Amino acid sequence: MKPSIVPQRRRSALAPKFFAFLALFMTLFMAGLTVHAAPVRVLVWDEQQPAQKQAYENFLGNEIANYLKTRPGLAVKTARLDDPDQGLSRQTLDGTDVLIWWGHVRHGDVKTDTAREIVRRVRTGKLSLIALHSAHWSKPFVEAMIERSRADALKPLDQNERARVTITETNQYANFHTAPRYSDARTPSVLYHKFPDGRIELDLTLPNCCFPAYRPDGKPSHVRTLIPRHPIARGIPVSFTIPQTEMYNEPFHVPVPDAVIFEERWATGEWFRSGSLWQIGDGKVFYFRPGHETYPVFKQGMVLKIIENAVRWLPSGK
């Protein structure tokens, strides 16, 4: 019996030491995760038109930023159009993971080269863009939709065909600030010409990035969550109401989104794809429609939670 008793005592003596070591390892491992987990760096950009003061004491962008600053794991800064370099210097963008954009009446004042630099960073996976409400006509969002339209136009072609293609683009800013009519052809659109000698020509009509109708009367909208399992919809109910907002009505002249997470409807029958997501190269763009500078939309818990969810998910997209 002795040979079987001695090893049993050794095992029982070693077991507490093993579990103590395992507990210490797990504690140190989790502590390391906590210390080294980098916060998501967020820049809230706002043109700060004076009309915002009707609903936001310290401007709309600051309202969003102040909420995000209370949330763990986020490092939040603000910028405005009248800042040096329009608040968008290369150093500032280098320190940004997610750019939240509010623009309305001064879209044309934003430098086109800056907008294209923003989209270049999105395309290379260095930056994510969230465009809010009237930012559908902001230069960064328009440039992102142009970039996606070009990629979509080339998708049906194989690699050999792409090497022989010539693209003619129309509508680039030609209809900027001119809303389409319901009877207008949808944009973007593309017409392919394939010649016997192997040449391929594409006539690409770029997106207008607008819609036929809006109504700023502050009537409520009813939001439906179409993809409840999407990370941007985490903690959001199947439906909720925004008491005061501006109405936009489809069709929205943009490339077909990769995902439509939220949809808005109005009692008078209008509807809109209000939470749309696009992959642009290695990065992502999220358009969130609810809002208006004179209604306190960005003081609502559900609206702010959706923005927070987007900020957290977009940089990794997992």
Q: Are the C-beta atoms of residues 46 and 80 closer than 8 Å to each other?
A: yes
Distance CA 92, CA 94 (A): 5
If one counts every other C-beta atom within 10 angstroms of the C-beta of residue 200, the result is 17
Q: What is the DSSP letter of 283?
A: E
Those residues with Cβ within 8 angstroms of residue 145's Cβ, 6 or more apart along the chain or in another chain: 188, 206, 207, 209, 254, 255, 278
pLDDT tops 70 at residue 172: no
Pick the CATH number of 36-146+213-313 from 3.40.50.880, 3.10.580.10, 3.30.450.150, 3.20.20.210: 3.40.50.880
How far lies 185's CA from each of 252, 253, 260, 270, in Å?
Answer: 11, 9, 22, 19
Higher pLDDT, 211 or 7: 211
Q: Among 16-20, 50-54, 238-242, 245-249, which is the least confidently predicted range?
A: 16-20
Q: Among 4-8, 220-224, 257-261, 264-268, which is the least confidently predicted range?
A: 4-8
Domain boundaries, the chain: 36-146+213-313, 157-205
Q: Is the entire prediction scored with pTM above 0.85?
A: yes
If one counts every other C-beta atom within 10 angstroms of the C-beta of residue 276, the result is 23
Length of the chain: 318
Give helix 60-69 / helix 301-313 axis angle, nearest 10°.
70
pLDDT for 94 equals 98
pLDDT tops 90 at residue 17: no
**pLDDT, mean over the chain:** 90
> What would you report as the CA-atom Rg of the chain, rounded to the nearest whole angstrom?
25
Q: Stretch 38-60: mean pLDDT, rounded? A: 96
Q: Stretch 18-24: mean pLDDT, rounded? A: 51
Give the amino acid at 273. R
Q: Are the C-beta atoms of residues 241 and 266 closer than 8 Å to each other?
A: no
| Segment 117-132, tens digit of pLDDT | 999 999 999 999 999 9
| Segment 90-116, tens digit of pLDDT | 999 999 999 999 999 999 999 999 999
Query: Tokens 């050999």 identify what position?
Result: 160
pLDDT for 2 equals 42
Q: What is the dihedral of CA 129, 132, 135, 140, to 10 degrees?
A: 0
